[in-house]
Amino acid sequence: MTARASAVLGVDVGTSSTKGVLVALDGTILRTAVREHSVARPAPGQVEMDAEVWWDEFVSIAQELTAVQDAEVTAVGVSGMGPCVVLTDEEGTPVRPAILYGVDSRAEEQIRRLTHVLGQEAIVAHCGAVLTSQSAGPKISWVAEHEPETYSRARRLFMPASYLAFRLTGQYVMDHVSASQTAPLYCLRDQEWHSPELRTAPPASSGPSTSPPASSSRSCAGRERPQGPSAPASPRRCRACPPGSR
Give the tens place of pLDDT for each residue, 119-144.
999 999 988 899 999 999 999 999 99
Residue 34 contacts by C-beta under 8 Å, 6 or more apart in sequence? 17, 18, 19, 20, 61
Closest CA to 184 of 216, 141, 237, 235: 141
- What span, in angstroms and rounded, lies between the C-alpha atoms of 133 and 78? 24
Q: Which pTM does this prediction carry?
A: 0.82
Q: Is residue 27 part of a domain?
A: yes
Q: What is the pLDDT of residue 232?
A: 31
Distance of CA 27 to the CA centre of its chain: 26
Query: Is a pLDDT exceeding 90 seen at residue 226?
Result: no
Residue 154 contacts by C-beta under 8 Å, 6 or more apart in sequence? 87, 88, 89, 95, 143, 208, 209
pLDDT band at 224 (very low <50, low <70, confident <90, very high): low
If one counts the domains in the chain, the total is 1
Q: What is the pLDDT of residue 193?
A: 83
Mean of the per-residue pLDDT values of the chain: 84
Q: Is residue 192 part of a domain?
A: yes
* Domain membership of residue 47 as a residue range: 5-215
Q: Is residue 34 part of a domain?
A: yes
Q: Mean pLDDT, to the nearest integer, of 46-69?
A: 96
Q: Is residue 227 part of a domain?
A: no
Distance of CA 193 to the CA centre of its chain: 16
Closest CA to 187 of 128, 118, 106, 240: 128
CA separation, residue 89 to residues 111, 125, 135, 150, 191 (Å): 25, 32, 22, 10, 25
pLDDT digit string, tens, across residues 2-56: 668 899 999 999 999 999 999 999 999 999 999 999 999 999 999 999 999 999 9
Strand extents, DSSP E, 43-167 = 48-49, 71-80, 86-88, 98-99, 156-158
Please list the helix, strand and coil fractions of the chain in percent, rounded to the nearest 5, in that order.
30, 25, 50
Distance of CA 28 to the CA centre of its chain: 28
Residue % of the chain over a pLDDT of 70? 78
Q: Is residue 211 part of a domain?
A: yes
Q: What is the pLDDT of residue 212?
A: 74
Q: Mean pLDDT, to the nearest integer, of 187-204?
A: 60
* Element spanning 186, H or E: strand 186-187
The answer to which of 67-81, 107-121, 156-170, 214-228 has the lowest mean pLDDT is 214-228
Dihedral, 22, 174, 212, 246 alpha carbons, nearest 10: 50
Q: Is residue 228 part of a domain?
A: no
φ, ψ dihedrals at 8, nearest 5°: -120, 135
3-state secondary structure of 61: helix
- What span, in angstroms and rounded, lies between the C-alpha atoms of 114 and 129? 13
Q: Is residue 141 part of a domain?
A: yes
The answer to which of 20-34, 53-67, 209-223 has the lowest mean pLDDT is 209-223
Yes or no: say if 5 and 24 are a contact pair by the CB < 8 Å rule: yes
Q: Is residue 114 part of a domain?
A: yes
Query: Which CATH number goes with the domain that contains 93?
Result: 3.30.420.40
Which amino acid belongs to residue 182? T
